[in-house]
Amino acid sequence: MPSQEFASEGFDIAASGGDGVVYEIGGGFTTAASEDDSQANGNQPTRSAEQAEQSPIDESERLKALGNGDFKQGNYLDAIDHYTDAIEACPYGETHGPSGEEILQMRDAFEERNREKMLAIQRKEMEDRRKARSPAGKGNEEDKADDGGETDEGEEDPLPTFVPPRHVFGTKLAVYHANRAACNLHLGHYAETIRDCDIALLFNPTYVKAYMRRGTAHERVEDTEKALRDVTTAFELDPTNKPARRQMERLRKLEDERMQKLKDETMGKLKDLGNSILGNFGMSLDNFSAVQDPKTGGYSISYNQNK
């Protein structure tokens, strides 16, 4: 399949690595040049059995090169197959480390335990506040104050952060997964793109291209908050990345617009609710006006019966 070019403002998410893959956030995309660290020229490389035994990762690298050749030709499904084969051919286990899917499952289980711990903390805080409001609870709080004691509030340890286990060839596995993500991004398979980028970043947390591709996928599914977070991280990792800076600035505007729209919708619903209640008394929120005091930042409410 020949490369396609669409007339729209381009966005080179591979600028820091020079792979020449241009994504069109505004409308389309352009496929060109090599992918990641490959120098593949479209020819399918061959290896002898003796060469294949030189390193456990050699076969995966050969398959990645085949995938890069397919990618440059626009054969994204074939490229996905080769990148998948490269991932599966990589050695795992106790000697080398867990697979990306295994690490992803570990992370999800870890985050679920964190959520359960957070819920337990919140339930405890609610119970403590309920007890403090009771007569007996107030007496206990006064006793603690007299004794110079402290309450338990704020003494909880912060929730831990997941640290993925290391893989001997983690950096290369990150490339295989990120390359497969690039194919899925072209095909519009955004959930698969995000998942592969998640894995790539577990293997290599400073992989700028993975952040950029995941950010693009998040934007395509209209999750501008996560998209902005990803491209901001990419720019922080590589401040020379001009496309990342442009993308970050554009997404900030979109996110500001989204938040303003959400605020307006929320205020509109609150006003409707207030009017429905005040209507029982022959009034509406239009009868009230709030004026902010520039010195204190507080508001004074006035009532106008004529409105």
Res 148: pLDDT: 53
pLDDT digits (tens, 9 = 90+) for 275-306: 677 667 666 766 667 777 777 777 777 767 66
CATH superfamily, with its number, for domain 11-92+168-256? Tetratricopeptide repeat domain (1.25.40.10)
Please, are residues 179 and 71 in contact by the beta-carbon 8 Å criterion? yes
CA neighbor of 38 nearest in space, from 59, 17, 58, 13: 17
Please, are residues 193 and 213 in contact by the beta-carbon 8 Å criterion? yes
Cα 123 from chain centroid (whole Å): 28
Res 256: pLDDT: 78
Secondary structure letter of residue 90 according to DSSP: S
- Phi, psi of 97, rounded to the nearest 5 degrees: 130, 170
| CB atoms inside a 10 Å sphere around CB 112 | 10
Mean pLDDT highest for which of 4-8, 147-151, 262-266?
A: 262-266
Mean pLDDT of 47-72: 82
Q: Which of 120-129, 214-223, 259-268 has the lowest mean pLDDT?
A: 259-268
Instruction: Write down the domain spans for the chain.
Output: 11-92+168-256, 98-165
